[in-house]
Amino acid sequence: MSRIKLLQSSEIKIFDAPPIFNNDNRMQFFGLNEFTETKLLKFRTPYSKLGFILQLGYFKCVGRFFEIGNFHKEDIDYVIENMRLSITFTEFHTYYTKQTAYYHREHILDLCKWKSFDDVFFRHQIKRLVERQLMPRKILFEIQSFLYRTRMEAPAYNKYLKSINQALLEVGRDISRLLEQQLNEDHKEVLDRFLEKPQSHLNANLIQYRTINQSTGPKDIEKSLEQFKTLKSKLESLKVPVQALRLSDAVIDYHAYWASIAKVDKIQDHSDRYLFLICFLIHQVRKRHDFFIDILLQNVKLAHNFTKRLQKENYFQNHKQRTAATQLLIETRISYHKQLEKVKIIISSPINDSQKVIAIQELLETEIALEAEQLQKIALLEKEMNNDPQSQYYLLWEKRSKWLSNRVGAILRNMVFSQHSDQRILSAVELYTIKNGRINAPAKDITWLDSLQQDLLYTLDENGKEKFRPGLYKMFLFTAVENGIKSGIINFQHSYRYRFLEEYLIDKNEWILNRENLLKDAGLALFTECKTVIEELKIHLEELYHETNENMKVGKNEYFTFNRKRKPIITTPPVEKPDTEKVSAYFRPVRYISILSLLSDVEKAAPFLHFFGHQSKTDEKKRPNPETFFGAILALGCNIGIDRMGRISKGVQLTNLKHTADWYLTEQALQDANDIIISVKNSLNLPQVHRKDPEQLHTASDGQKILIKKDSLNATYSTKYPGFNKASSINTAIDERFATYYSADREAGNVPDMHLGNPVIKSTIHSTDTHGGTEVIFGIMHFLEIFFAPRIKDLGTLDLYSFLPRKYYQDLGYDLLPDHYINEKLIEDNWDEMLRLVASLKLGKTTAFQVLKRMNSYAKQNPLQKAFKEFGRIIRSSFILRYYDDLELRQSIEKQLSHIEMMNRFAKSVFFGNNQEFTVATKPEQEKGILCRRFIQNAIVLWNYLYLSELLTKVESEEAMEDMIAIIRNGTAVAWQHINMLGEYDFDKMITNEKLRFDLKKIFEWKYKI
């Protein structure tokens, strides 16, 4: 492996230089206090005192020491003047020696209670990040941030460079050595077949496996399944080496992506080709396995929905007959009553008994008789009344057996189940597989069915004998598998999204051995002791019950009432929406700046192009020029498409655009580029005017649906788009300063992911709409030390929890009372497992989306799920009480969520191409486009802030300055009307004298008989 370069020369110079301070910074970091003045008394010379204060100030700021020669002259002069020292800049550099500086560093570490640099620890952490397949540059900044969080002295650039290169080399060598040991000739032959061509004029076999057909039609499923079976067979033949390699998801994902975009001959010539091919194979089997599981879940759901709809239709279709039969019964009942009265009259008449009998018989024969058709109507009504609705449903359900079997039967027979699954259902699936779907008897153990379902498996034939219902049995089996997947009792091997929950977490043995260190690394040391945490929450919750109720009693909360059922009702006065017109007026002089010029300006102000490194992690032979990067970003972010951008643009070639999009615009690189733009924006003073509290940062997230043109499992039918339109849901997060920092599926589990490992947005309060407000999310967000404040619909219907009995608060005359107790023992018994899960999230072992989707789906909740819900009830109850009592909080939530709506309009304007519809089918392709869109949005907002900031520098009067600041504060920097995102028409180069491209003579002579 060639030696990699982490930073450019100019960046290295900045990296190894002390931070640049303004006067406020110098006062903050070089200021003296009683403690430092006491320390200074130990130093005899003014050079020592000056050097100590300078080193201490720099260290407090960034957690590292710098070479004396790099100290800034402005800082030296400031400290000399502040301390009234009688020395010069030159004298300081002459007499303050390295030996003295090193001696001072030990004192500074002790004073700040930081650890000195530990090389072994440092290299271990770097290796951990390398194993996660982060790009080298990302590793540099991740480890730098990690050292600061753990209060350990950071080294200079060269140490990072050497250690990261060494770790990359070691990890690569370890895998190569294992591969060499484990792969025999048969294994290599299996992998080499990927690179072979069936015929000389055809593509290599590898090419056909790179994409998955997203169609769910039976024929397409059958073709995809054949490919899956081939890949699964290959993986089975490589079972021994794959198990020995123990490749992480990150290693597999990185090498599989490389193999999916590289030219076949490039893979063929690579020294690690077998590693790339193994990872590609594992990745494809997992992705396809998940794909088929999704198809099974989707089709079983469709079958259920169809049956329910059919049952409803049948019910309403029979409405006329039921009404007629009911009317007939009513009329008959009236007729019987009249006849009975006539009989009574006959009985009481003076005629003899025999005459009475004859008269009654005549009456019955002439008036009570019903026609056969009428009797049939009543019989049908009686039958329908006696029918069990569930049995009726299963009768219709059975008729969908062939339809569903055609779509999921073969899938079920080819799934690879985990041993951590319900063995009863697995036995039934095994029988189904052995019989190739031709079932003539149920499995021996059918306890996975309820008693009604077991009874319905058999019916009586014409001869009164029991007859097995194979169609219904198969439908029950498909449903049991679907429910099992959703409830967590069915898990799979070779899967990313449907594994056993335990596989997503830090290994238990590793946790037991390194629990303390793992908690420190994850920043969870404050949560180590359950009783301490619960006690603090207990006190806080009780205070909120008292405060909220007392304010209600004295009439301080005019917006709170109860309904007739004594459920709380809270109203919030509307918040003032941003005045966009006044701020937009400031941009009128620049209309219209091209988006290309804007990106060029942003690159100069916040250099981001260097984040786009080649996927190979080594220096590429020829790096694309900036124009090509801009073209690729705009093609994806504006939804124009790479092909179309290449054909309608000059100055960039289609092949270069595609190469750049594939090899450089990776998810990680786009994320880093977004981060640097946000970071530069955050360093500006102007965006801070939008923060309500300088000590707090309010963020919010909400979803947006984007229609999709192609078949895609990453899309669902939406009520927003009636008919046959499918849409993907994208969740977007913003902060108060209008930074867009996250885009993913609109799922509750994504809320913690927005804040995990985010280096630029340090949220202290986060809001969503109702969909994100689950008890588990409340619990996890507390571990992340973020106040979760969603806007919950029908908040008054939610139960409140307490550690004290309801009667305690009733006796105080309170109206807002707890509904349930908190089960402290449940939380305490599972505290260690809760910490292990959160540590797994914070250390990047898994994502909240993955683990919570698996955990939250459990129908029979496991203890960990129950404990998280119980813990979340404490946090949610505290939030609800505060929400009822704090008008300012409610309005802040409303305001931040209203900003999301504006950002969604902004996003649609940026994503203007192809009618604002996705033209790509897979989730990774869609996410790359959204990341590029987010990048463009952040670039526009940064440019706007730079422009407004420059205008402010030119304002001369204080009054005009305050007026302009007020307009910006009450408005927003999210403005895009002054930006030309559509390109320019070049009329100068229009050639009017050029010969017409069409042959009009031939066109008009051509005829077609209609």
Least confident among 37-51, 227-241, 250-264, 660-674: 37-51
Other C-beta atoms lying within 10 Å of the C-beta of residue 847: 19
**CB burial of residue 712 (10 Å; 0-12, 13-18, 19+):** buried
Closest of 293, 295, 299, 298 to residue 498, by C-alpha: 293
Taking 50 as the threshold, does the pLDDT of residue 802 lie above it? yes
Determine the average pLDDT of the residues in 832-849: 92
Higher pLDDT, 996 or 382: 996
Of 675, 730, 734, the closest CA to residue 700 belongs to 734
pLDDT beyond 60 at 723: no
Question: Distance from CA of residue 979 to its chain's centroid?
Answer: 30
680 closest CA partner among 739, 755, 609 = 739
Instruction: Give whole-number Cα distances, 623 to 502, 610, 619, 660, in Å.
Output: 43, 10, 9, 9
Predicted confidence band of residue 43 (pLDDT cuts 50, 70, 90)? confident
pLDDT at 713: 74
Of 889, 896, 151, nearest to 559 by C-alpha is 889
Report how far apart the first and last C-alpha atoms of the chain are (Å, whole number): 69
pLDDT, greater one: 21 or 389: 21
Distance (Å, whole) CA 772 – CA 747: 7
Helices (H) and strands (E) in the chain, counts: 44, 14
The reported pLDDT for the residue numbered 726 is 80
pLDDT score recorded for residue 313 = 77
* SS3 at position 747: coil
Residues in contact with 114: Cβ distance below 8 Å, sequence separation at least 6, in sequence order: 59, 63, 108, 151, 152, 153
Q: Which of 209, 253, 252, 293 is nearest to 492 (CA)?
A: 293
Q: Which two tokens stand for residue 914?
A: 């192809």
Question: Out of 50-54, 61-65, 702-706, 982-986, which region has the weakest mean confidence (pLDDT)?
Answer: 982-986
And the tokens for 147?
A: 């050292």
Question: In this model, does residue 335 exceed pLDDT 90?
Answer: no
Half-sphere exposure of 338 (CA within 13 A, CB side): 10
Which of left, alpha, beta for 571 (phi over 0: left; psi -120 to 50: alpha)? beta
Q: In whole angstroms, what is the distance from residue 844 CA to residue 74 CA?
A: 41
Residue 375 banded pLDDT, cuts 50, 70, 90: low
> Is the pLDDT assigned to residue 215 strictly greater than 50?
yes
Q: Among candidates 452, 445, 409, which has minimal Cα distance to 428?
A: 445
Residue 743 banded pLDDT, cuts 50, 70, 90: low
- The residues with which 965 forms a beta bridge, in sequence order, are none
pLDDT tens string 446-472: 999 999 899 889 988 777 788 999 999
Q: If you average pLDDT over residues 964-973, what whole number do you get?
A: 93
For 346-437, strand residue ranges (E) read none
* Strand bridging mode 466-468 / 458-460: antiparallel
Tokens of 23: 């006067």
Sequence length of the chain is 1010
Pick from 150-154, 381-385, 818-822: least confident: 381-385
pLDDT digits (tens, 9 = 90+) for 492-512: 999 999 999 899 999 999 999
**What is the model's pLDDT at position 374?**
60
Q: How many CA atoms lie within 13 A of 383 on its CB side?
A: 9
**Three-state secondary structure string covering 356-382:** HHHHHHHHHHHHCCCCHHHHHHHHHHH
Query: What was the pLDDT predicted at 1?
Result: 44
Q: CB within 8 A of 984, min separation 6: which ones?
A: 594
Average pLDDT of 7-24? 89
As to burial, measured by CB atoms within 10 angstroms (0-12 exposed, 13-18 middle, 19+ buried), residue 168 is: buried
Tokens linked to 314: 């049948």
pLDDT greater than 80 at residue 92: yes
Distance CA 933, CA 929 (A): 6
Q: What does each C-alpha distance from 633 to 137, 629, 669, 869 come to in angstroms?
A: 20, 6, 12, 42
CB 285 within 8 A of CB 231: yes
Distance of CA 822 to the CA centre of its chain: 30
Q: What is the pLDDT of residue 142?
A: 87
Look at residue 474 and tell me whether its pLDDT is greater than 80. yes
Residue range 893-901: mean pLDDT, rounded: 91
* Burial profile 392-428: b = 16 or more Cβ within 10 angstroms, e = fewer: eebbbbbebbeebbebbbbbbbbbebbebbbebbbeb
Task: Say whether pLDDT at 674 is over 60.
Answer: yes
What span, in angstroms and rounded, lies between the C-alpha atoms of 998 and 418?
Answer: 65
Mean local confidence (pLDDT), 947-958: 94
Residue 500's Cβ-side half-sphere holds a number of Cα atoms within 13 Å equal to 11
Residue 253 CB coordination number (10 Å): 20
pLDDT-based confidence at residue 384 (cuts at 50, 70, 90): low
What's the farthest any 2 CA atoms get from each other in the chain?
A: 146
For helices 863-885 and 887-910, the axis angle rounded to 10 degrees is 110
State how far the Cα of 31 lies from the Cα of 702, in Å rounded to an integer: 44
- Give the pLDDT confidence of 569-603 residue by residue, as tens digits: 999 998 888 888 899 999 999 888 999 999 999 99
Residue 326 banded pLDDT, cuts 50, 70, 90: low
Q: What percent of the chain has pLDDT over 70?
A: 92
Model confidence band, residue 938 (pLDDT cutoffs 50, 70, 90): very high
* CA–CA separation, 371 and 373 (whole Å): 5
Q: Which of the listed ranges 31-45, 419-433, 452-466 does the model predict with the highest average pLDDT?
A: 419-433
Instruction: Answer with the residue of higher pLDDT: 800 or 731.
Output: 800
| Residue from 880, 883, 887, 873 nearest 538 by CA | 873
Query: Where is average pLDDT lowest: 347-356, 417-426, 863-872?
Result: 347-356
pLDDT score of 186 more than 50 = yes
What tokens appear for 179 in the block?
A: 């591969």
Q: Give the three-class secondary structure for 567.
A: coil
Residue 460, token pair as written in the block: 């009586």
Task: State the Cα–Cα distance between residues 84 and 117, nearest whole angstrom.
Answer: 33
Q: For residues 379 and 362, give the distance between their C-alpha atoms in angstroms, rounded to a whole number.
A: 26
Q: What is the pLDDT of residue 1009?
A: 76
Amino acid sitting at position 651? G
Q: Token digits for 995?
A: 């010969």
pLDDT tens-digit profile of 925-937?
Answer: 999 999 999 999 9
pLDDT over 70 at 748, yes or no: no
For 874-891, the pLDDT digits (tens) are 999 999 999 999 999 999
Closest by CA to 909, choosing from 481, 621, 580, 530, is 580
pLDDT of residue 856: 63
- pLDDT at position 248, please? 86
Q: Give the pTM.
A: 0.83
Helix (H), strand (E) at residue 26? helix 23-30
Which tokens hold the place of 591? 């209309």
Helix, strand or coil, per DSSP, at residue 461: coil
CA distance 605 to 440: 73
